[in-house]
Structure 1
Amino acid sequence: MAHDSARIDSRGGHKGTLESGRNLLADVSLPAAIIKQSPLAHNLVWMQHFAEHHQAHLAPHGKTTMTPELFRRQLEAGAWGITLATLPQCRAAFAEGVERLLLANQLVGRANMAIAADLIRAGAELYVTVDSVENATQLGEFFSAAGLELLTLVEIGVDGGRTGCRSDEDTLTLARKIAKQPGLVLAGLEGYEGVVHGDDPIAGIRAYAQRMVANAEALASEGLIGVEQPIITASGSAWYDLIAEEFRDAGLQGHFAPVLRPGCYVVHDHGIYREAQQGVLSRRPDLHEGLRPALEVYAQVQSLPEPGMAIVALGKRDIGYDLPPEALARYREGGSSDGVLGVDGWKVVKQMDQHTFIELPTGEHDIQVGDIVAFGASHPCMTFDKWRQIHLVDDQLQVVESWETRF
């Protein structure tokens, strides 16, 4: 687990989060995960505007960051709610003031049902997904006995994918079961297009969204919906533009509220989502500039054991490794944000738990032990969960705030 940089008192206990005003290059124990203030502000506004332009709500997937301060900023920017992946995550978000929770997962197990019941009693507006009659029966029995009603969304799946009903017939059968089940209220449909694959993924994802719309219309026409404003929700962080367009163009407004659930947008990345964003912009040139990467991990050169190699005190416990981290910039310890040194030609060739091996270009002599290197990550979900504290920094790499995560 990556350490944080909270102060430790003489008895070994944490005294709290360090005050702002520290310089990342001089005053913070490294490695450290940071979020740059300006790109973050841009991304919050950009995605909220995108959702509103497509007549959709935004319920960002909170599992990406599990950082209450980011939840608050997303809600303040206009988000409809926060999506989570587990009941403990929902409980943590609710404890931090998030009242509308979307569990983009099946609710199974009586211990998890008990957490959900406690949240509902406490005033949470909680939505969960269901994809089987068996699960619907279990939920109905539990919540009926508890004297509660659970808002449920039928999940639409695909062959060979993850969870979700595989056929329209299964969807309709399940919806009928939910509508008759005491303790349950059918509140709409949920899906995830990221499991759609094939030779033409764009066509496949559009077809998937159209299938969701057709199912929503079928459930509504049969009178199975149990709420005034049902929702239809999908969209991860890669194909949100296609889902938003299909939901908007289906004319659902007034019947179903479209809800988009990207999570990685808030800090973006330097890997798979940077590539995905290039795809979005190629399909939608009207969007002009897209999202900006805001999440980086700073670490120090630890050893220069032989010519052409540097060992950095950063490893798989500190940064996501779906793709090798990318060296972005280098600084002298104690220097200023203006004193950027080169990393051209640097190549990550190996990572261990807490070491990264850098192959240096021929003739690289400027590097020193103690130099600070900024790295970009691929897949922010797998970077955030390694940290208990994230630092918000300004353009001069001064720490503005330090935030706790809730993993």
Structure 2
Amino acid sequence: MRETKRKANTTTLGDKGTPETGGSLLTGVSLPAAAIFEAPLAHNLAWMQRFAASHGAYLAPHGKTTMTPALFQRQLEAGAWGITLATAPQCRAAFAAGVQRLLMANQLIGEANMAIVAGLIEAGAEVYCVVDSTANVEALGRHFAAAGQTLNVLVELGVPGGRTGCRTLEQVLGVAHSVAAQPALRMAGMEGYEGVVHGTDPVPAIRDYAAQLIACAQRLDQDGLLAVEAPIITASGSAWYDLIAEAFDAAELRGRFVPVLRPGCYVVHDHGLYREAQRGVLTRRPDLHEGLLPALEVFAQVQSLPEPGLAIIALGKRDIGFDQLPEPLRRYREGGNAKDLLSVAGWKVTKLMDQHAFIALPEGAGDVRIGDIVAFGASHPCLTFDKWRQLCLVNEGLDVVEQMQTSF
């Protein structure tokens, strides 16, 4: 059983959001601070692992969301098959933190990046990357042949108007044949990402994309182009994972393929983009009941009350994601008790600067004081994690039980 309290990591000069004179977000922690709540985190880890298992799929959470080794370890301990990354340096950081199986859901481009991956393979890592062009295949083949290594590659299927990936079955087969001609490369399966499928009614389009991905993987198998005993088929971001899991399950891929889902934001969820996406999942799948819970918040203090109806919070774009404006959730007195909540009803963030948030206060908000502590929810957790060298893991009482370092 996991101990609740872990040894705090050593901080470096200049780190923000660290315990200074105490171990509570309400006293002694330098604010603003990013906080992850223990109970929702544990719920989300178990929930998504159960979901994947219920569809006969494996989970390789996208590590770029958090780049937090302590969370990688929790995901692996919960049963994750591996960790997905986006770049070679991210793979290196994850491997240094003890992750052995690395799925780089991106093209491996450039000699320097190839050298990083070659070093990981030499050190014992199991690495996969994706390819979508003969030019990239040939460059990889030359590099890893010179290194005396074999690299696992997945052909990527994209969508017209999207980003990377082959657009047609014919292109998929062409790239796969070029892989087969490279002794240093091993064709290990198919990869896709449905998050680039858009439209006024995306659900049918995503189902069509999943069917196309499955058909491409099965065609590679029929043509004898898969060079591993248990090839991978993988897709799924954090918005449409239910549709991908259902498609993989319905196609009964488990007898031949290893179906791998790659959501990343689920681990802390959010109060914006993915909260809305989760509502769609639960509408499609009411049997999933509670769903994911937001676990990430940023705490900051009222800095100024310069005029009636306006509060300035010491929180800005350097502290919290801003593709949607942050949402005030709760308020506390500095030095107070976590159970003593103050109202933020009617509070609205109207503008965010580098290190200031403008709050429009409702009439009657006369109890607001300089130094009050406000918890904010954010949209798209990736864009909040990357603003922190470390985050505080906290319990319900807002006590810091662990400091989690990031590796961006």
TM exceeding 0.5: yes
Name the TM-score class by shorter chain. over 0.9
Q: Map 1:8-27 onto structure 2 (within 5 A).
A: 22-27=23-28
Distance 1:344 1:283, change over 3 A: same
- CA distance in 2 between counterparts of 1:30 and 1:5 reads 18
Aligned partner of residue 365 in structure 1, secondary structure: coil
Aligned partner of residue 84 in structure 2, secondary structure: strand
State the match for 1:158 in structure 2. 159
Does 1:269 find its partner at 2:243?
Answer: no
- CA distance in 1 between counterparts of 2:356 and 2:9 reads 19
State the match for 2:368 in structure 1. 367
State the match for 1:214 in structure 2. 215
State the match for 1:183 in structure 2. 184
Q: 1:145 Cα deviation (Å)? A: 1.3
The aligned amino acid for 2:130 is: T
- CA distance in 1 between counterparts of 2:263 and 2:118 reads 26
The aligned amino acid for 2:377 is: G
Does 1:40 find its partner at 2:41?
Answer: yes
- CA distance in 1 between counterparts of 2:200 and 2:405 reads 42
Does 1:195 find its partner at 2:174?
Answer: no
Does 1:392 find its partner at 2:393?
Answer: yes
State the match for 2:225 in structure 1. 224
Contact in 2 for aligned 1:21/1:399 (Cα 8 Å): no
Q: 1:363 Cα deviation (Å)? A: 2.2
- CA distance in 1 between counterparts of 2:104 and 2:21 reads 34
The aligned amino acid for 1:330 is: R
- CA distance in 2 between counterparts of 1:256 and 1:134 reads 27
Q: 1:7 Cα deviation (Å)? A: 6.2
State the match for 1:109 in structure 2. 110
Aligned partner of residue 323 in structure 1, secondary structure: coil
The aligned amino acid for 1:217 is: Q
The range that moved more, 125-134 or 21-30, is: 21-30
Contact in 2 for aligned 1:63/1:84 (Cα 8 Å): yes
Q: 1:316 Cα deviation (Å)? A: 0.4
Does 1:247 find its partner at 2:248?
Answer: yes
State the match for 2:358 in structure 1. 357
Q: 1:21 Cα deviation (Å)? A: 7.2
Contact in 1 for aligned 2:21/2:28 (Cα 8 Å): no
- CA distance in 1 between counterparts of 2:296 and 2:328 reads 13
Unaligned residue ranges in structure 2 (runs of 5+): 1-7
State the aligned residue count. Answer: 399
Q: 1:27 Cα deviation (Å)? A: 1.1
State the match for 2:3 in structure 1. none
The aligned amino acid for 1:269 is: D
Q: 1:358 Cα deviation (Å)? A: 0.2
Contact in 2 for aligned 1:20/1:402 (Cα 8 Å): no
Q: 1:179 Cα deviation (Å)? A: 1.3
| 1:170-195 deviation digits (Å, cap 9, x = unpaired) | 00111111012121000000000000
Contact in 1 for aligned 2:21/2:29 (Cα 8 Å): no
Distance 1:5 1:72, change over 3 A: closer
| 1:96-125 deviation digits (Å, cap 9, x = unpaired) | 100000001100000000001000000000
The aligned amino acid for 1:301 is: V
- CA distance in 2 between counterparts of 1:232 and 1:288 reads 28
Q: Which runs of 4+ in 1 moved over 6 A?
A: 4-8
Distance 1:315 1:123, change over 3 A: same
Contact in 1 for aligned 2:230/2:258 (Cα 8 Å): yes
Aligned partner of residue 403 in structure 1, secondary structure: strand
Aligned partner of residue 357 in structure 1, secondary structure: strand
| 1:155-214 deviation digits (Å, cap 9, x = unpaired) | 000000010001110001111110121210000000000000122200000000000110
- CA distance in 2 between counterparts of 1:13 and 1:224 reads 52
- CA distance in 1 between counterparts of 2:52 and 2:400 reads 31
RMSD: 1.6
Distance 1:341 1:219, change over 3 A: same
- CA distance in 2 between counterparts of 1:392 and 1:363 reads 34
Aligned residues with identical type, % of pairs:
67
Aligned partner of residue 25 in structure 2, secondary structure: coil
Does 1:65 find its partner at 2:73?
Answer: no
Contact in 2 for aligned 1:5/1:18 (Cα 8 Å): no
- CA distance in 1 between counterparts of 2:155 and 2:377 reads 37
State the match for 2:337 in structure 1. 336
Aligned partner of residue 253 in structure 1, secondary structure: helix
State the match for 2:346 in structure 1. 345
State the match for 1:403 in structure 2. 404
Q: 1:53 Cα deviation (Å)? A: 0.3
Contact in 1 for aligned 2:9/2:405 (Cα 8 Å): no
| 1:207-243 deviation digits (Å, cap 9, x = unpaired) | 0000011001100011100111100000000000000
Contact in 1 for aligned 2:9/2:403 (Cα 8 Å): no
TM-score scaled by structure 2?
0.96
Contact in 1 for aligned 2:331/2:372 (Cα 8 Å): yes
- CA distance in 1 between counterparts of 2:247 and 2:151 reads 28
- CA distance in 1 between counterparts of 2:382 and 2:352 reads 18
- CA distance in 1 between counterparts of 2:180 and 2:243 reads 30
Distance 1:103 1:188, change over 3 A: same
Contact in 1 for aligned 2:302/2:371 (Cα 8 Å): yes
- CA distance in 2 between counterparts of 1:220 and 1:180 reads 17
State the match for 1:288 in structure 2. 289
